[in-house]
């Protein structure tokens, strides 16, 4: 593994799926400034920390968060072992695919489904379950596996940053162990560079063999104001680049912006209903409102997906 201390010479265009324009220019300008040895904005290798939201920033999040789809699919898979669910909400609604009845359960129903699908097993069992789901489940609109529903331009950006000595982290509201089960081969991001929401776990010796058991209790929610807290707790160094797509990333962008020296703050704005989806201020998923206003006011970079990306998914032509 060779990590360069200066800008990497272009061998072809490392950001080939990005149209020329203000966002691409601000990205390459930023990388050039912080990697120019002796330049006024040079940043040492160890401080080139970049943070990326996941849902809606690195992979898609419609029509529902993919982790929630995983949870629903787990309930269906576990149902044969739980005959009592046929008469118990919210499981009954899920098994019968009765969307209206499920939604009537509100947040309580959601939390119950998350608890049942994400706890009561060891970390190794959970990891295997997610890996199996990722290898088989298909997205309802595109018919692709969920780990194909990632943004080609962002994959190129991750590789471009790594080639320039950056250390990219995921900082997501998603479950940290859900993500760690599949992100390494997809994004090239190892488990120790994934920050996310965390459930409580317990160490146990089972027949002399140590295991970690996932408990049905939330330990940390890595969203909104939790994102800078999570960055401080898990990384301990302020990023110089942050990319998100919703108001859940607002404080992470503010925290990144408030450091000294060169900074890059970016938002993915979903503007492409044809190739992906178009949503922002009124969306229940990935609501982008206040962060968009501050991005406009402070001249942060806002990706217009329709304008700025020549391709959205790796499987696009």
Residue number with CB closer to a copy of itself (49 or 75): 49
Site for a copy of itself in 158-197 (CB under 8 A): 167, 169, 176-177, 180, 184, 190-194
CB atoms within 10 A of CB 51: 29
Integer Cα distance of 52 and 195 in angstroms: 10
- Alpha helices, DSSP H, located in 137-249: 152-163, 176-180, 183-187, 226-230
Site for a copy of itself in 233-292 (CB under 8 A): 233-237, 251, 254-255, 258
Site for a copy of itself in 28-47 (CB under 8 A): 45-46
DSSP state at residue 10: P
The SS3 call for residue 194 is: strand
**What distances in angstroms separate CA 157 from CA 39, 80, 87, 285, one per listed residue?**
23, 44, 49, 24
CB of 296 to Ca ion, least distance (A): 19
Region at 204 (left for phi over 0; alpha for psi -120 to 50; beta for the rest): beta
Q: Which residues are CB-neighbours of 163 under 8 A, at least 6 positions away?
A: 4, 8, 14
Among 15, 27, 34, 49, binds a copy of itself (CB under 8 A): 49
Integer Cα distance of 317 and 312 in angstroms: 9
Binding-site partner at residue 228 among Ca ion, a copy of itself, none, CB < 5 to 8 Å by type: a copy of itself
CB of 55 to Ca ion, least distance (A): 4
For tokens 């780990």, the residue is: 147
CB of 54 to Ca ion, least distance (A): 7
CB of 65 to Ca ion, least distance (A): 9
Q: The tokens of 74 are what?
A: 């787990």
Site string for a copy of itself, 196-225 (x = CB under 8 A): --x--xxx-x---xx-x------xx----x
CB of 2 to Ca ion, least distance (A): 32
By CB under 8 A, tell whether 228 contacts a copy of itself: yes
Q: Where along the sequence are the contacts to Ca ion (CB under 5 A)?
A: 53, 55-56, 245-246
The values of phi and psi at residue 224, to 5°, are 60, -125
Point out which residues bind a copy of itself (CB under 8 A). 1-3, 45-46, 49, 123, 167, 169, 176-177, 180, 184, 190-194, 198, 201-203, 205, 209-210, 212, 219-220, 225-226, 228-229, 232-237, 251, 254-255, 258
């Amino acid at each position: 593994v060779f990590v360069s201390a200066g800008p990497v010479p272009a061998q072809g265009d490392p950001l080939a799926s990005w149209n020329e324009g203000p966002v691409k220019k601000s990205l390459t300008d930023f990388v050039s400034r912080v990697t120019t040895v002796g330049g006024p904005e040079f940043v040492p290798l160890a401080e080139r920390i970049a943070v990326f939201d996941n849902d809606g920033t690195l992979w898609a999040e419609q029509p529902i968060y993919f982790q929630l789809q995983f949870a629903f699919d787990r309930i269906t898979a576990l149902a044969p072992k739980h005959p009592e669910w046929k008469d118990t909400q919210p499981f009954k609604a899920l098994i019968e695919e009765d969307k209206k009845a499920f939604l009537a359960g509100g947040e309580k129903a959601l939390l119950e489904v998350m608890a049942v699908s994400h706890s009561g097993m060891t970390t190794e069992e959970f990891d295997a379950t997610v890996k199996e789901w990722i290898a088989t489940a298909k997205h309802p609109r595109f018919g692709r596996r969920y780990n194909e529903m990632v943004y080609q331009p962002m994959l190129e950006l991750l590789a471009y940053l790594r080639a320039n000595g950056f250390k990219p982290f995921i900082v997501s509201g998603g479950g940290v162990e859900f993500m760690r089960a599949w992100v390494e081969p997809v994004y090239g991001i190892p488990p120790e560079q994934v920050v996310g929401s965390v459930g409580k776990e317990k160490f146990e010796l089972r027949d002399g063999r140590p295991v970690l058991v996932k408990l049905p209790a939330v330990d940390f929610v890595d969203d909104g104001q939790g994102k800078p807290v999570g960055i401080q707790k898990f990384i301990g160094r302020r990023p110089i680049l942050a990319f998100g797509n919703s108001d859940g990333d607002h404080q992470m962008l503010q925290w990144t912006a408030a450091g000294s020296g060169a900074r890059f703050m970016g938002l993915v704005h979903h503007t492409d209903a044809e190739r992906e989806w178009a949503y922002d201020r009124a969306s229940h998923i990935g609501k982008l409102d206040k962060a968009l206003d501050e991005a406009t006011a402070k001249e942060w970079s806002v990706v217009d997906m329709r304008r700025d990306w020549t391709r959205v998914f790796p499987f696009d032509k």
